[in-house]
């Protein structure tokens, strides 16, 4: 039996105290991440607003009457604006910083909601939705970048993956409140989140990466010390030195669009990010989130569409809670594979149901459970992987000197693709059948599984520098073997 010496107990006590300090030190980091992600909840409200509002505006006697054509524009113009936002963000995040870019953007979002609240014509709806889209595009570029730069290496994946949780909270607010509130009262509820974001995020520190890149070393050390909590001056200096080396290596030359495709690491980061985000959009997520109530109307389900939307929103919120622990334990790749496979099954099932209904098959009555089951399954597995993780992957793939340009191009392309998917979903349903649209979504999810398996690198536990070395195939020298002499 091993004797427990006083030194042993003292060491154990010190270890426990160190663990408490580590936990305490992460409180500020979690606080900054939560505050930043409130902007994503505001985006969720923008996305889901059309689900309860468009059916009301299509009713006879509404103050602005929408038909199918105008309704598709109100839904999809958000995505068109979101394709413009990243280019504005690309200029702002390097000019004024990540923090002030997001704060100014939230004011723009409030202005957009004000335009929608005062709308007296369909054109004002178009302008308001387009401005909402610009704000959303900036947020989707700025928040993942901010989170990636403030997070510790071990927590970057988990913190990056909570995007879906906060986004889902915004959806849930609209799905639950929308059917029971008037047009203007729903807007009043929707502006709470951007206001809450401004009130909390204004007290958060700027990204240490941006401060160092701007030559503000003292401010960067102060920011990092606050984010890491009770750590020593030496520990702060060590991390600052590592970031400086990373920034110096990455900023030796100016970058252009040409470098995005001629540099080996940038090219691989580009096709991984574009591939993941394109397949995410082609899985049909925005069609479902924008038009969840109209989709349930199409199914002829006995459950009222507004309650079906609430169920979908609740599942989305619950499933998003599993993303961070899953990512922390498994990394990005395995959850992405599970998510791609699950969404494929769900969309194929839904396409099969719509095919039977459109062909007026008698057997369709035995499959009345399929629409709600398929959408719940789809949302559950999507929010655990294919929803948040492509954005988190993009946030850590590029070197600092390339992040702003690459993120702007990729985010803009993603939202432009989403615009076409949401805009022409109704056209495809009319001309080729709803089953055909969901068949395309299912096939895209199948392609996503293959793409993730063969093309997406496993970056679990890697630093940003390690990821760059992996993408550029730079071999890291092995650590020297440590010999322990046993007395």
d(CA 274, CA 277): 5
- From first to last of its 487 residues, the chain has per-residue pLDDT tens of 444 444 444 444 444 444 444 444 688 899 999 999 999 999 999 988 988 898 888 888 888 888 878 888 888 899 899 999 988 988 898 889 999 999 999 999 999 999 999 999 999 999 999 999 999 999 988 898 898 888 887 777 677 767 778 988 898 899 889 888 999 999 999 999 999 999 999 999 999 988 998 888 899 889 988 888 877 888 888 888 888 887 777 666 666 777 777 778 888 889 899 999 999 999 988 787 766 666 666 655 666 767 777 877 788 788 877 777 777 788 888 999 999 999 999 999 989 988 888 888 887 778 878 887 888 888 888 888 888 888 878 877 887 778 778 888 888 898 889 888 887 887 787 788 888 888 999 999 999 999 999 988 877 767 767 777 778 776 655 555 444 444 4
Say how many C-beta atoms besides its own lie within 10 A of residue 473's C-beta.
Answer: 9
- Residue 162 — φ and ψ, nearest 5°? -75, 0
Residue 24 burial (CB < 10 Å; 0-12/13-18/19+)? Answer: exposed
The helix (H) or strand (E) run that includes residue 249 is helix 233-250
pTM surpassing 0.85?
Answer: no
21 Cβ partners below 8 Å, 6+ apart?
229, 230, 231
The helix (H) or strand (E) run that includes residue 255 is none
Helix, strand, or coil (residue 106)? helix
Instruction: Evaluate whether 379 touches 288 at the Cβ level (below 8 Å).
Output: yes
446-460 in b/e form (b: 16+ CB < 10 A) is bbbbebbeeebbebb
436 Cβ partners below 8 Å, 6+ apart?
351, 428, 429
User: What Å distances lie between residue 111 and 51, 116, 117, 128, 332, CA to CA?
Assistant: 21, 9, 10, 8, 36
Rounded to 5°, angle at Cα 424 from 420 and 427: 170
For the domain made up of 25-204, give the CATH fold: Growth Hormone; Chain: A; (1.20.1250)
- Structure tokens belonging to residue 287: 């069609």
Instruction: Evaluate whether 190 touches 49 at the Cβ level (below 8 Å).
Output: yes
- SS3 labels along 345-402: HHHHHHHHHHHHHHCCCHHHHHHCCHHHHHHHHHHHHHHHHHCCHHHHHHHHHCCHHH
Residue 153 burial (CB < 10 Å; 0-12/13-18/19+)? Answer: middle
Nearest-CA neighbor of 54 among 174, 149, 168, 135? Answer: 174
> Is there a shared CATH topology between the 25-204 domain and the 256-474 domain?
yes
Q: Any idea where the domains of the chain sit in the sequence?
A: 25-204, 256-474
- Structure tokens belonging to residue 444: 């895209």
The CATH code of domain 256-474 reads 1.20.1250.20
């Amino acid at each position: 039996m091993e004797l427990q010496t006083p030194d042993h107990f003292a060491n154990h006590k010190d270890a426990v105290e160190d663990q408490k300090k580590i936990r305490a030190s992460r409180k500020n980091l979690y606080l900054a991440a939560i505050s930043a992600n409130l902007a994503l909840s505001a985006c969720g409200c923008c996305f889901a607003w059309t689900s309860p509002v468009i059916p009301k505006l299509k009713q006879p006697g509404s103050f602005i009457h929408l038909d199918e054509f105008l309704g598709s524009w109100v839904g999809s113009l958000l995505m068109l604006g979101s394709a413009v936002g990243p280019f504005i963000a690309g200029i702002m995040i390097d000019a004024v910083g990540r923090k002030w870019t997001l704060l100014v953007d939230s004011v723009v979002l409030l202005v957009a909601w004000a335009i929608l609240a005062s709308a007296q014509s369909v054109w004002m709806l178009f302008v308001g939705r387009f401005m909402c889209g610009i704000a959303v595009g900036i947020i989707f570029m700025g928040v993942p970048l901010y989170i990636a730069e403030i997070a510790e290496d071990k927590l970057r994946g988990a913190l990056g993956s909570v995007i879906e949780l906060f986004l889902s909270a915004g959806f849930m607010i609209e799905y639950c409140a929308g059917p029971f509130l008037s047009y203007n009262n729903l807007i009043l509820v929707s502006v709470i989140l951007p206001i809450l974001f401004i009130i909390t995020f204004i007290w958060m520190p700027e990204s240490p990466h941006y401060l160092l890149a701007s030559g503000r070393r003292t401010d960067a050390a102060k920011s990092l010390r606050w984010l890491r909590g009770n750590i020593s001056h030496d520990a702060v200096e060590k991390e600052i030195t590592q970031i400086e080396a990373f920034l110096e290596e990455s900023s030796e030359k100016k970058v252009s669009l040409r470098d995005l495709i001629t540099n080996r690491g940038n090219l691989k980061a580009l096709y991984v990010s574009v591939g993941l985000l394109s397949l995410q959009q082609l899985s049909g997520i925005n069609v479902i989130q924008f038009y969840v109530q109209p989709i349930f109307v199409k199914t002829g389900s006995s459950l009222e569409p507004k309650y079906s939307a609430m169920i979908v929103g609740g599942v989305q919120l619950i499933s998003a809670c599993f993303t961070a622990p899953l990512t922390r334990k498994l990394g990005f790749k395995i959850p992405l594979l599970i998510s791609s496979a699950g969404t494929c099954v769900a969309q194929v099932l839904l396409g099969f149901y719509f095919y039977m209904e459109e062909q007026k098959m008698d057997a369709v009555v035995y499959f009345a459970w399929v629409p709600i089951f398929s959408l719940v399954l789809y949302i559950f597995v999507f929010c655990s992987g294919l929803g948040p993780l492509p954005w988190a992957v993009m946030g850590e793939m590029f070197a600092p000197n390339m992040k702003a340009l690459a993120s702007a191009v990729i985010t803009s392309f993603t939202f432009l693709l989403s615009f076409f998917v949401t805009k022409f979903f109704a056209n495809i349903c009319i001309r080729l059948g709803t089953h055909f649209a969901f068949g395309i979504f299912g096939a895209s999810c199948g392609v996503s599984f293959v793409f993730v398996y063969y093309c997406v690198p496993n970056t679990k536990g890697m630093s940003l520098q390690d990821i760059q070395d992996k993408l550029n195939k730079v071999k890291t020298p092995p650590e020297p073997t440590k010999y322990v002499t046993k007395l």
